[in-house]
Amino acid sequence: MFDHLIDRAAQAVEIVPLRAQRLEAWMKRQPQSVGQWIRAAGFTAKPGSTCLVPNGEGGLAQVVVGIEEGLDRWSMASLPTSLPKGDYRLADEVDGAEAEAACFAWAIGAYRFQRYKKRSGDLARLVWPAGVDRPAVRRTVAALTLARDLINTPAEDMGPPHLAAAARAVAKAHKAKFNVIVGDDLLKRNYPAIHAVGRAAARPPHLIDMSWGTSGPRLVLVGKGVCFDSGGLDLKPSSGMLLMKKDMGGAALMLALSRMIMDAGLKVRLRLLIPAVENAVNGNAYRPLDVIRTRKGITVEIGNTDAEGRVILCDALAEAHRDKPDLILDAATLTGAARVALGPDLPALFCNDDDVAEALLRHAKAEDDPMWRLPLHKGYRALLDSKVADISNVGSGSFAGAITAALYLQEFIEPGTRWAHIDTFAWNNRDRPGRPEGGEALGLRALFSFVQAWAQPGKGKGSAIIAPKPAPRPRPVNQRTRRRR
């Protein structure tokens, strides 16, 4: 995976990353011939653009590449595949966070999904700069690669048993505890909602359960693992079914995040829960207006069998409370409404705690891995009312679909438990450097940065959110009286 990042090279061509506003000042410090060449080439340091500067012998002396203002993690991602084969090094003045970002861009820029179609051709290689945190780069790229590969794999080879096998491999590599409940055993163990959604498929439903760590705050991650979604009896049209291999993108994201947490050795007591199913059509498929029971005891009327993700998540969220966690994070490719509101690149964040939400958004901004908070507007809860059950799995009417889905999930969160829900697309719908069209773990870097700070009290603003909120101190009567005046 990292063959294109090397320790040293006898001869390596210098790469100079430049921002547009610094281009002229840099050229003034170069030999006149270099400036003339760059101007003749029409190079303006537009982010992602390159200019190959020759030496006097017909070879390559330098590569000048345009980058964004701020910490740019993507503009150099095209270089491993676009530059001539050979060895390259960053200019000496590139160090610290910028050098680490460049290494990340180089490594992730080499990603290709090659399970079924091998790509020929060697990649350009980059010499690791001194002082870069190599384990951090490797950790992030390996986790992104894991998630992308899982999402990109067709459902034929990525059903519930395959997803369980992938999680088992991650657990084994990090000496985590692993358990899986399959098929009718879900009924015996009181996970009726997961069973109801997955029972019609040829491959039985699974509940994947992994735990790791013996100290620190308790963190439960829950990921929607619908390995393929036909819509069930409320069958999707062919166009709506085309990308449904990615409907386990929430599970892939949470598994990748778990891998990063364990690889970094963060001091948390981690638990990962993935309900893995296929939403299929068969004689025993669950039906519109069926009423199903859930692990929490809440009854759910099925208003639409294509709103299956929230149905399987509710059993997992109920189970997530068993160890009284300090925080629950769930991720799901849950609603088209979130995509209508925010598009493909912005996961929607719902959270029942302002401190947690603000910390998540702060880390998302710092990592340039954005998400956007939407409200858990309690006024819309009535849209989920059912005349025959405790709740319906869909809202009445066509408005606020992402919010009503989140409000449905909130019904399975115990009061006082901090919880955040991420509604993600899990897909790049166009090619960009380092982000080829296909599966994507949107929010992964932001979530890891958040958990890393949260798990280390005193080492980041995010750590403060795990502290219990102190009860308000009563004020003396006379002090309150003065305040009123």
Among 310, 339, 435, 445, the active-site one is 310
Q: Is position 469 annotated as part of the catalytic site?
A: no
Of 54, 55, 58, 48, nearest in space to 81 by CA: 48
Distance in angstroms (rounded) separating the CA atoms of residues 38 and 103? 25
Of 405, 218, 378, nearest in space to 312 by CA: 405
Distance in angstroms (rounded) separating the CA atoms of residues 51 and 194? 55
Distance in angstroms (rounded) separating the CA atoms of residues 160 and 276? 5
What residues are paired with 171 via a beta bridge? none
Amino acid at 76: M
Distance in angstroms (rounded) separating the CA atoms of residues 390 and 395? 13
Distance between start and end Cα atoms, the chain = 69
Beta strand 5-6 with 291-293 is unpaired
What are the helix and strand counts (H, E) for the chain?
16, 20
Half-sphere exposure of 211 (CA within 13 A, CB side): 10
* Residue 196 C-alpha from the chain's centroid: 27
Distance in angstroms (rounded) separating the CA atoms of residues 422 and 356? 13
Burial class (CB in 10 A: 0-12, 13-18, 19+), 96: exposed
Q: Is position 310 annotated as part of the catalytic site?
A: yes
């979530």: which residue's tokens?
447
Phi, psi of 435 (to 5 degrees): -135, 70
Q: Dihedral, CA atoms, 347, 278, 205, 250, nearest 10 degrees?
A: -10
Among 189, 236, 362, 373, the active-site one is 236
Amino acid at 264: A
């449905």: which residue's tokens?
408
Q: 169 vs 157, 269, 302, 423, CA distance in Å?
A: 16, 19, 35, 26
Positions marked active-site? 236, 310
